């Protein structure tokens, strides 16, 4: 089995190369970035590419698509430090064939690579199940983020910083009652019942990209 491995941790990369080699597999290239991985796949056309999901910049999911495009016969297996079912879903949707955790022993990783090469989906069943479950994009509170006004974004920022209504009013240069109204409207638009829930919503689902560019 010819493999291209991609991870930003050189240590893991090299060690994994040696370990896979010791198990009789052919690691044809080690890549430190998704771009390197794409180039390596284009050159070597391996059976499988083991790709770390956790790249600074988060372009690893996009890399799946590119790899699949330039080398459709290459199966992509994602390697991750944590089991994140949201990422699993996106990865599979982009064309990945598997998703394994770094906490797994090497033999298990290799087994997953085997499964991917045989055309099977190499994902832990429980994880896949959770990845598929929350398919209700309707009634999505994140949709509402679009309709927040600039002022409400500023209020959101204050909320995220843990400010009280008073501090917020001070920061925005308005009366408490005004700040309060903004908070009220914000909560209503987001469909939540407390500023803490609003903050939780943002920190859980609202990536940096959710913020209006001019207010980030």
Binding site for DNA (CB under 7 A): 147, 149-152, 164-166, 172-178, 180-185, 187-188, 193-196
Distance CA 27, CA 16 (A): 9
Exposed e or buried b per residue across 130-162, where buried means at least 16 C-beta atoms within 10 angstroms of its C-beta: bbeeeeeeeeebeebbeebeeebbbbbbbbeee
Distance CA 216, CA 202 (A): 13
* Partner that binds at residue 73, options a copy of itself, DNA, none, CB closer than 5 to 8 Å by kind: none
Distance CA 75, CA 35 (A): 17
Q: Which of the residues 82 through 101 are near a copy of itself (CB under 8 A)?
A: 82, 101
Distance CA 75, CA 116 (A): 6
DSSP state at residue 76: E
Q: Of the listed pieces 9-17, 64-72, 130-138, 144-152, which binds a copy of itself according to CB under 8 A?
A: 9-17
The answer to whether residue 22 forms part of the interface with a copy of itself (CB under 8 A) is yes
The answer to whether residue 59 forms part of the interface with a copy of itself (CB under 8 A) is no
For the CB of residue 66, give the shortest distance to DNA in the complex, in Å.
Answer: 11
If the CB atoms of residues 73 and 166 are measured against DNA, the closer one turns out to be 166
The residues binding a copy of itself (CB under 8 A) are: 8-12, 14-16, 18-19, 22, 79, 81-82, 101-106, 109, 159-162, 164, 192, 194-204, 208, 216
């Amino acid at each position: 089995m010819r493999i291209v491995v991609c991870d930003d941790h050189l240590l893991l990369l090299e060690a994994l190369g040696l370990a896979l080699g010791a198990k009789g597999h052919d690691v044809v290239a080690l890549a430190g970035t998704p771009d390197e991985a794409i180039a390596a796949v284009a050159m070597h056309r391996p059976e499988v590419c083991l790709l770390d999901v956790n790249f600074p910049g988060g372009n690893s999911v996009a890399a799946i698509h590119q790899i699949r495009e330039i080398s459709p016969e290459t199966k992509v297996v994602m390697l991750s430090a944590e089991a994140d079912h949201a990422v699993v879903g996106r990865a599979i949707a982009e064309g990945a064939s598997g998703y394994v955790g770094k906490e797994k022993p090497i033999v298990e990783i290799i087994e997953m690579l085997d499964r991917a090469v045989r055309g099977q989906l190499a994902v832990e069943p429980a994880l896949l199940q959770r990845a598929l479950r929350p398919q209700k994009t309707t009634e999505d509170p994140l949709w509402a983020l679009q309709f927040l006004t600039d002022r409400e974004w500023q209020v959101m920022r204050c909320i995220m910083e843990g400010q009280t209504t008073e501090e917020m009013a001070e920061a925005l240069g308005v009366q408490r009652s005004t700040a309060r109204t903004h908070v009220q409207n914000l909560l209503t638009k987001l469909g939540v019942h407390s500023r803490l829930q609003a903050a939780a919503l943002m920190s859980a689902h609202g990536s940096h990209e959710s913020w209006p560019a001019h207010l980030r």
